[in-house]
């Protein structure tokens, strides 16, 4: 139930509740916080609600439900028996049929009218309940309601009761590495890790270390031309991928390059290596500018008849979504990567001017679609090689929370996003001023109207060539922190989503792909949300430093969750070698992110860290005078005492890196997402060094061998 606050208009409170908007919440200290009425009003306006008269808006909202003969979308579990309400004029006899995704039609039995009635537009409407039987095939089906000469279609989604683990995992515990792919450079990659590096890293992890999966940062699409956003968690599209990760030389047509073009590609690569090899920063702009020019040359090489068929089939499979994404990329190459700054006539994907642009730039459009096809091929190769080398899951992708407000997804699906709103997080112990991620949220009402098609297409794309997905901030499928533009993060509010539908679609797509789902459920989380995820067979996330009992003490290993991915650290913390020295506190102080004096914060951090080290020592896993590497190994050995089905080792921990990849709450104050993988001496490492790392081999042996 939504918390209540005192507002000038009780109707405004009731109206907000009907849209899932919280008027109050409990903060990380357990205190009740009232949401300013102005913030609630701004969130309602972002959903196109006229709040000038809240009582009239509430009546309109209620009438709209009754005007619909059918709800836009109904999501059920396979074993669940449900009823769906059909609204019809009194005296009429509605019919309801199902058209199954696999073919065939099924008539549903109606029950007695529920007795509820409402006058809408001068007509009395009643509710007639129809029974949806259990045991229907999993998938997306159509509900067809017929009444008085009218026919209305809606979506019925039948989802798995339980997801759990795919058969490939069996009953044994699995473990894997987590890597920021861009940071793992090889001698052949163009300034940043690419999909061939991913392939090599996965094969090594499987064949040499016995890993079952390799989790990588989001590989979502970024800007088509420089400058590029460094954060993989602020993409232009989550549906498509970033061609920065293409290995040019592994494209089949590369071997057929004319001599002059091959020399040009080699010159471009040489320029990148000269500037970036050994650099202590990931320079995406230099890398991508050169790589894009090289890819243009490879694209112009004629494809064989078979490969042309393959390319055309890929384009047909992804349809208008691919075309619109490519079209955004072409326009962005001329007008900049934020469509909100384009000429007005180009800001609407359906405008005649955009259609004319597509005709006039057909070759460029083809190039952008070709880039996605090449990415699809190289992702497929990486997954196939990982599994062939012995991984039970293979590559695991990371799904970002949202997208750039001026990017491709918002442009092509503009009506599904709330305008004037940014997503973030309320204040919590680690970010005491809150966070603003500058991303627009999906509108829950529009998702339902579309039968969750944008979400299910996104999940299917991410899982196309992977054995799992980590859903960043999975609590966002339950509720998201909406911040009206111009307000600080502390003055936002929660907006609820239909988590039964969102998690159901996620589980359905994962089951079809034979994949595992890991939800990042850290931070301020309602206990009921974690319980719900567990009931659906979706893994949670356990970070050692943050696993504590009700009294704030380290949570004993035996009490950790079984269906969770357990690790010592995460990408929002320094690698463990850095965390042990309190680097994150010193960094946050330098950046002005602390809300209490440095000495006080450092003392609290030391106490929390020492409490965990005391637990490790009490288990006999760590001698009193152990060094950093031995301590890192002991912390990971503790994970093997837990019942967690998935263990995760950060590649940074495996090689002794100390520097954090990302400092939440900052943008350019710290080189977020631009730090190359480094060794204990903070000098950059190449992938070739990693593949020969004795330190990594020792740490892998720790998580493979249960502690006594």
According to the model, what pLDDT value does residue 532 have? 97
pLDDT under 50 in the chain at which residues? 1-6
Residues in the chain: 708
Name the burial class of residue 54, with classes exposed (0-12), middle (13-18) and buried (19+) by CB atoms within 10 angstroms of its CB: buried
Using an 8 Å Cβ cutoff, are 606 and 614 in contact? Answer: no
Q: What is the pTM for the complete model shown?
A: 0.94
CB-CB contact of 459 with 469 (8 Å): yes
Q: What angle do CA 521, 526, 532 make, to 5 degrees?
A: 70
Provide the 10 A C-beta neighbour count for residue 469: 23
pLDDT value for 5:
41
| Residue 592 pLDDT | 86
Q: Domains along the chain?
A: 10-63 (no CATH), 79-159 (2.60.40.10), 256-367 (no CATH), 539-708 (no CATH)
What is the CB-side half-sphere exposure of residue 274 using CA atoms within 13 A? Answer: 7
Going 698 to 702 to 705 to 708, the CA torsion angle's sign is positive
What mean pLDDT, rounded, does the chain reach?
94
Q: How far is CA 501 from the centre of its chain?
A: 17
Q: How far apart are CA 74 and CA 68, in angstroms?
A: 13
Strand pairing class (213-216; 174-179): parallel
In sequence order, the β-bridge partners of residue 202 are none
**Residue-level pLDDT at 425:** 87
Cα(3)–Cα(466) distance, rounded to whole angstroms?
A: 40
Cβ atoms 150, 461 nearer than 8 A: no
191 conformational bin, left if phi > 0, alpha if psi -120 to 50, beta if neither: left
Closest-CA residue to 78 (of 130, 131, 137, 129): 137
- In this structure, are residues 537 and 162 in contact, taking their beta carbons and an 8 Å threshold? yes
Helix/strand/coil for 251: coil
The residues, ordered by sequence, that sit 6+ positions from 384 with a Cβ below 8 Å of its Cβ are: none
pLDDT at 8: 58
Return the SS3 of 592.
Answer: coil
For 234, the 3-state DSSP assignment is: coil
pLDDT score recorded for residue 6 = 43
3-state secondary structure 86-139: EEEECCCCCEEEEECCCCCEEECCEEEEEEEEEEECCEEEEEEEEEECCCCCCE
Q: How far, in Å, CA of 564 to CA of 539, rounded?
A: 5
Contact 75, 81 (CB under 8 A): no
């795919």: which residue's tokens? 166
């Amino acid at each position: 139930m939504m918390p209540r606050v005192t507002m000038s208009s009780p109707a405004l409170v009731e109206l907000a509740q009907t849209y899932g908007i919280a008027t109050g919440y409990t903060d990380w200290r357990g205190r009740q916080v009232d949401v300013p009425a102005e913030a609630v009003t701004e969130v309602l306006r972002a959903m196109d609600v006229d709040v000038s008269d809240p009582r009239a808006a509430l009546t309109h909202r209620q009438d709209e439900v009754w005007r619909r003969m059918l709800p836009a979308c109904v999501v059920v579990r396979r074993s669940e028996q449900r009823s769906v309400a059909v609204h019809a004029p009194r005296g009429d006899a509605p019919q309801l049929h199902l058209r199954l995704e696999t073919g065939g039609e099924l008539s549903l039995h109606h029950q007695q009218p529920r007795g509820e009635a409402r006058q809408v537009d001068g007509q009395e409407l009643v509710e007639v309940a129809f029974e949806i039987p259990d045991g229907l095939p999993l998938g997306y089906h159509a509900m067809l309601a017929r009444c008085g000469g009218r026919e209305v279609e809606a979506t019925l989604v039948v989802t798995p009761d339980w997801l759990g683990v795919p058969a490939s995992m069996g009953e044994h515990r699995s473990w894997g590495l987590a890597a920021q792919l861009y940071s793992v450079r090889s001698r052949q990659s163009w300034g940043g890790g690419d999909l061939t590096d991913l392939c090599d890293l996965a094969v090594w992890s499987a064949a040499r270390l016995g890993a079952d999966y390799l989790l990588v940062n989001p590989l979502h699409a970024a800007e088509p031309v420089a400058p590029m956003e460094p954060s993989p968690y602020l993409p232009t599209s989550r549906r498509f991928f970033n061609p920065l990760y293409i290995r040019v030389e592994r494209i089949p047509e590369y071997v057929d390059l004319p001599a002059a073009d091959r020399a040009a590609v080699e010159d471009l690569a040489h320029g990148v290596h000269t500037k970036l090899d050994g650099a202590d920063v990931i320079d995406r702009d230099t890398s991508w500018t050169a790589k894009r020019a090289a890819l243009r040359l490879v694209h112009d090489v004629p494809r064989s008849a078979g490969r042309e068929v393959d390319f055309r089939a890929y384009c047909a499979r992804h349809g208008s979504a691919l075309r619109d994404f490519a079209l955004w990329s072409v326009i962005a190459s001329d007008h900049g990567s934020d469509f909100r700054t384009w000429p007005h006539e180009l800001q609407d994907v359906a405008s005649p001017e955009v259609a004319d642009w597509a005709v006039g730039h057909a070759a460029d459009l083809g190039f952008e679609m070709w880039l996605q096809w090449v990415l699809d091929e190289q992702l497929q190769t990486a997954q196939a090689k990982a599994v062939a080398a012995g991984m039970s899951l293979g590559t695991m992708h990371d799904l970002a929370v949202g997208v750039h407000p001026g990017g491709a997804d918002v442009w092509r699906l503009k009506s599904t996003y709330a305008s004037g709103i940014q997503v973030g997080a309320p204040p919590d112990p680690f970010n005491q001023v809150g966070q603003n991620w500058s991303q627009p949220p999906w509108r829950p009402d529009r998702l339902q109207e579309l039968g969750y098609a944008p979400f299910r297409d996104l999940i299917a794309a991410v899982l196309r060539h992977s054995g799992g997905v980590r859903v960043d901030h999975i609590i966002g499928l339950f509720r998201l922190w909406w911040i009206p533009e111009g307000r600080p993060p502390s003055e936002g509010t929660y907006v609820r989503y239909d988590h039964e539908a969102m998690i159901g679609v996620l589980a359905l797509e994962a089951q079809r792909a034979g994949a595992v789902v890991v939800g990042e459920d850290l931070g301020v989380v309602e206990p009921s949300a974690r319980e719900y995820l567990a009931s659906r067979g979706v893994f949670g996330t356990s970070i050692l430093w943050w696993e504590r009992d009700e009294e704030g003490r380290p949570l004993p290993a035996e009490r950790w969750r079984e269906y969770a991915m357990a690790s010592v650290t995460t990408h929002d913390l320094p690698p463990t070698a850095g965390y042990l020295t309190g680097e994150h506190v010193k960094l946050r102080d330098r950046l002005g992110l602390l809300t209490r004096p440095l000495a006080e914060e450092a003392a609290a951090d030391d106490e929390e860290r020492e409490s965990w080290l005391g637990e490790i020592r009490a288990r006999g896993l760590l001698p009193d005078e152990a060094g950093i590497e031995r301590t890192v190994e002991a912390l990971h050995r503790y994970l093997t005492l837990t019942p967690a089905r998935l263990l995760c080792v950060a590649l940074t921990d495996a090689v002794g890196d100390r520097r954090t990849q990302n400092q939440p709450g900052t943008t350019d104050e710290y080189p977020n997402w631009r730090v190359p993988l480094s060794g204990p001496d903070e000098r950059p490492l190449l992938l070739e060094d990693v593949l020969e790392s004795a330190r990594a081999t020792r740490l892998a042996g720790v998580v493979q061998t249960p502690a006594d």
